[in-house]
Structure 1
Amino acid sequence: MALNHKRKVMAAAGIAALSLTTAACGSSSNNDPGAQASADTTDYSKWCDMKSELNGKTVSIYTSIVTPEDASHKASYKAFEDCTGVKVNYEGDKDFEKNLPQRAQSGNLPDVAFIPQPGLLQTMVDTGKAIPASKTVGDEVDKYFGKDWRKYGSVDGTLYAAPLGANVKSFVWYSPKTFKAKGYTVPTTWDELMTLTAKIAADDPGAKPWCAGFGSGTATGWVGTDWVEDVLLRTAGPDVYDQWVAHKVKFNDPKVADALAKVGAILKDPKYTNGGFGAPSTIATTTFQDGGQPILKNKCYMHRQASFYASNWPEGTKVAEDGDVWAFYLPSVDTSTKPVLGGGEFVATFRDAPEVKAFAAFLASPDWANAKAKATTNGGWVSANKGLDVANLVSPIDQQSAKILQDPAAVFRFDGSDQMPSAVGAGTFWSEMTNWVKGQDDKTTLDNIEKSWPAN
């Protein structure tokens, strides 16, 4: 898909001087030492035209994205800063999710916050401090992201936050070399996936078809929630998935029980897991970082995990379609549907000022998405922005993720547990999935989660 990242957009009321011009802004060198050396040919004129109004202003960012990932973010703002004269002050905090609501109470909110969960966005809107997105931002979202992403940045039908980065969770990691040597082909349907699983178990008694790890400190169990979400999205469809997230479909509904049973047919079968570690119950104590590593030792063939798992492979591992490891799309029940589970961040604003609106519009644009891709020289970042030129992403898995997100057939749904009340999504759903993989039965697991849902 050919993408023009020199596009120009019409101005919207409230963001001054976003007019069309033909004079290009002189682009400056990237301040990231690792940035690629090729010249930036993007036309930043629409941002440069705002300098007379914005020069000397500042915009503060608050986010959970910290060192070293913050370097490429800071570098990606350089053209905007040079063109507008706005200084962007960046603050990263590992305790962002806890501290942002507290800062709202104390009156110490930033101008802009990168919010990683729709539920937290709802919390911040409820404070009365969040500002609805400008028309310009809304137009960018409608043109370059679409209705699914707009929904996750909205509260009660009003858009508050444009999408920023994204990740794809619907991946299965494997070794292309091993598959080729064994004559295995990548499955395209769920039935093919299960047929392949059974064949691997029969062909190689010394290994297992699957490996997994739910361990993640105080967040142990989140991997299990992703499994259920991915499978439910495939077996019951996006409408039921949405109803389940909103608790209009209960946790112990037969459709959810069916999805959990399908997950159990893989993760709780000792013939199929846990390659390289032991019995299926070892999944509970295996860290998610270690979960897929037995693929490199021929002890495991497949590992369901998100695109960001690419950073967990040892240095020197070739992550490519012809490499040591690669990932294929977790197939749906048939080839006519392409559900995609994922996550991302959203740009919320808390100060009504031209420089804040302008910066939010920049972050929603393909100009920023492509600048960020170029600044992320080691890979590990992607956006669902359809104006992102996939060629600007340096990592093959990032490129594959972007293609999936831009696929018109893809139906994207945000991580379900991130949208549920924290007592469930970051509480009983995690803990009960951990109990489940240790041996607890399906009914008890789902009943316990259902009982924990807050009354109001």
Structure 2
Amino acid sequence: MTLNRKRTGAAVVGCLAGLSLVLTACGDDGDDGGAATGGDDEGNGDCADYEKYTETYGDLDGTTVTVYSSIVTPEDQPHIDSWVPFEECTGIDVVGEFSKEFEAQLIVRVQSGSAPDIAYMPQPGLLQTVVRDTDAVVPAPAGVEANVDEFFGEDWRGYGSVDGTLYAAPLGANVKSFVWYSPSAFSEAGYEVPETWDDMIALSDQIVADGGKPWCAGIGSGDATGWPATDWMEDVMLREHGPDVYDQWYTHEIPFNSPEVADVLERVGSILKNEDYVNGGLGGVQSIASTTFQDGGLPIIDGNCFMHRQASFYQANWPEGTTVAEDGDVFAFYFPTITEEFGRPLLGGAEFVAAFDDRPEVQAVQEFLSSPEWANEKAKVSGPGWLSANTGLDISLLESPIDQLSAELFQDPEAVFRFDASDLMPGEVGAGTFWTEMTNWIANDKDNQAVLDAIESSWP
């Protein structure tokens, strides 16, 4: 599941929190230094990177583009700030509308004729649904296609496409293939960061032999309880059977109770259901189900466990004053590979920018949001916890060492990226039985085969 949905704990929560923020573009007074000439003196002072938009799309001064998103306060403000230089240099007014009811309201708005100009889609599955059910999404313009091909690559293009047509470029992204640990605790105990799965298991056994608990975990998340366990399945599927089988799994070309999926569940269970390994500082295996994902890794701080598999965005959950750095209180290492055959698999999530209108100003904004200029501007105004898979992103602009490491992984030519499978599966499964049955597997010690059979029987 993607970052925005997981951090709220459910796909749609709360009441409408729409917020319309109009950012005034410079140059509206018609002076020679305004947006139309790209000579803003009170903005960023240099509009050279933005001249291409007026050259391609014509005079954009005085136009307005609405952007609808599930990204709400306080995370909405950096997005608003990231648009400002573009607004000042093009004269486009970008109006942000931010709502916790985004997923419920988007299709309603489209069908009622009040679609936004642009929407940030939090999952490829939602993009596919809106494209196919409404026929209202506009194919991406040539500038977006060029940016996706140059700065994102084939995998990302596929996630933003429906039936072979590119509709949306990626926006922000997160990396899930991380194991959090304490560098100081590792150093004091003489442990080294594992580079392979076998190394990680050997380290876990050594920690047990030394009298410790190697792992801590929590899968609690309100109505969405269970999603962290699905991330374990996804990461291990990529490493044990590779990206091709991973794709067959989420598209149901192989059944959910196939031998390949059974292998993965057994391997995940060798850690999460191993009483010797878990749940450091929190209890036994069953405590994983009752522990929230926010609290799941905190025993690392107290020395009650040594490792916690969780995404890059988990950095926001460490207590105030915790130093997140390679030589700090906590850091993370890449979730190790099982076999070299499948390269360096990378599991993650992202939002995608889709448009419902092809006016020149809308296409200009859509192209800007797919560009390195936007990614770098967003990095300047964002704190820890944000990054992009755009290879034009200047990694040095990212504030957090974990974000920098994540961006390096995204830009690694050997990385094999796959989107969170539960977000790509039908809702009845990906945000339904996959969550609930993984919870039953932990909380009630439900049999492996029974868990897989139950999920398979729910596939529409």
Normalised to the residue count of structure 1, the TM-score between the two structures is 0.90
1:77 alignment partner, SS class: helix
Distance 1:40 1:333 in 2: 48
Distance 1:197 1:27 in 2: 58
Give the partner amino acid of 2:152. Answer: F
Instruction: For 1:297-376, list aligned pairs within 5 A.
Output: 297-335=302-340, 337-376=343-382
Deviation (angstroms), 1:43: 3.1
1:99 corresponding residue in structure 2:
105
Give the partner amino acid of 1:187. Answer: P
From 141, 151, 155, give the equivalent of 2:148: 141
Deviations 1:245-293 (A, max 9, x none): 1000111111111111010000001100011110111111100000000
Deviation (angstroms), 1:134: 0.7
Give the partner amino acid of 1:354. Answer: P
Deviations 1:54-79 (A, max 9, x none): 11110001101010001110000011
Deviations 1:305-332 (A, max 9, x none): 0000000001100000000000000011
1:163 corresponding residue in structure 2:
170
Deviation (angstroms), 1:53: 1.5
Deviations 1:393-426 (A, max 9, x none): 1111110000000000000000000000000000
1:79 corresponding residue in structure 2:
85
1:405 corresponding residue in structure 2:
410
Distance 2:372 2:42 in 1: 18
Distance 1:297 1:42 in 2: 51
Deviation (angstroms), 1:162: 0.4
Q: Does 1:88 align with 2:55?
A: no
1:247 corresponding residue in structure 2:
252
Deviations 1:155-212 (A, max 9, x none): 01100000000000000000000001111111111111111111111112xx411011
Give the partner amino acid of 2:278. Answer: T
CA contact (8 A) 2:118 2:354 kept: yes
Q: 1:28 and 1:363, CA in 2 relative to 1: closer, same or farther beyond 3 A? A: farther
Give the partner amino acid of 2:189. Answer: K
From 412, 415, 433, give the equivalent of 2:438: 433
- Can you give the 5+ residue segments of structure 2 that lack an aligned partner in the other structure? 1-36
Q: After the TM superposition, which of the residue ranges 331-340 and 139-148 deviates more from structure 2? A: 331-340
Distance 2:55 2:403 in 1: 33
CA contact (8 A) 2:50 2:90 kept: no
Q: Does 1:44 align with 2:43?
A: no
CA contact (8 A) 2:239 2:339 kept: no
Give the partner amino acid of 2:302. Answer: K
CA contact (8 A) 2:43 2:88 kept: no
CA contact (8 A) 2:38 2:46 kept: no
Deviation (angstroms), 1:135: 1.2
How many aligned positions are there? 421
1:129 corresponding residue in structure 2:
136
Q: 1:25 and 1:342, CA in 2 relative to 1: closer, same or farther beyond 3 A? A: farther
1:442 corresponding residue in structure 2:
448
Distance 2:204 2:46 in 1: 47
Distance 2:57 2:418 in 1: 38
2:345 alignment partner, SS class: strand
Regions of 4+ moved over 6 Å: 39-42
CA contact (8 A) 1:220 1:434 kept: yes
Q: 1:366 and 1:28, CA in 2 relative to 1: closer, same or farther beyond 3 A? A: farther
Deviation (angstroms), 1:220: 0.5
1:209 alignment partner, SS class: coil
Superposed CA RMSD in Å reads 1.6
Q: 1:382 and 1:236, CA in 2 relative to 1: closer, same or farther beyond 3 A? A: same
Deviation (angstroms), 1:52: 5.7
Q: Does 1:114 align with 2:134?
A: no
CA contact (8 A) 1:245 1:419 kept: yes
Distance 1:139 1:302 in 2: 41
Q: Does 1:264 align with 2:269?
A: yes
Distance 1:440 1:263 in 2: 14
2:395 corresponding residue in structure 1:
390
CA contact (8 A) 1:342 1:415 kept: yes
CA contact (8 A) 1:25 1:45 kept: no
CA contact (8 A) 1:47 1:80 kept: no
1:174 corresponding residue in structure 2:
181
Q: 1:298 and 1:361, CA in 2 relative to 1: closer, same or farther beyond 3 A? A: same
CA contact (8 A) 1:274 1:280 kept: yes
2:292 alignment partner, SS class: coil
CA contact (8 A) 1:25 1:43 kept: no
CA contact (8 A) 1:113 1:347 kept: yes
CA contact (8 A) 2:441 2:447 kept: yes
- Can you give the 5+ residue segments of structure 1 that lack an aligned partner in the other structure? 1-22, 31-38
Of all paired residues, the percent bearing the same amino acid is: 60
From 202, 205, 209, give the equivalent of 1:198: 205
CA contact (8 A) 2:40 2:46 kept: no
Distance 1:412 1:98 in 2: 29
Give the partner amino acid of 1:331. Answer: P
Deviation (angstroms), 1:41: 9.0
CA contact (8 A) 1:54 1:355 kept: yes
Q: 1:275 and 1:42, CA in 2 relative to 1: closer, same or farther beyond 3 A? A: farther
Normalised to the residue count of structure 2, the TM-score between the two structures is 0.89
Instruction: For 1:23-42, list aligned pairs within 5 A.
Output: 26=40, 28-29=42-43
2:76 corresponding residue in structure 1:
70
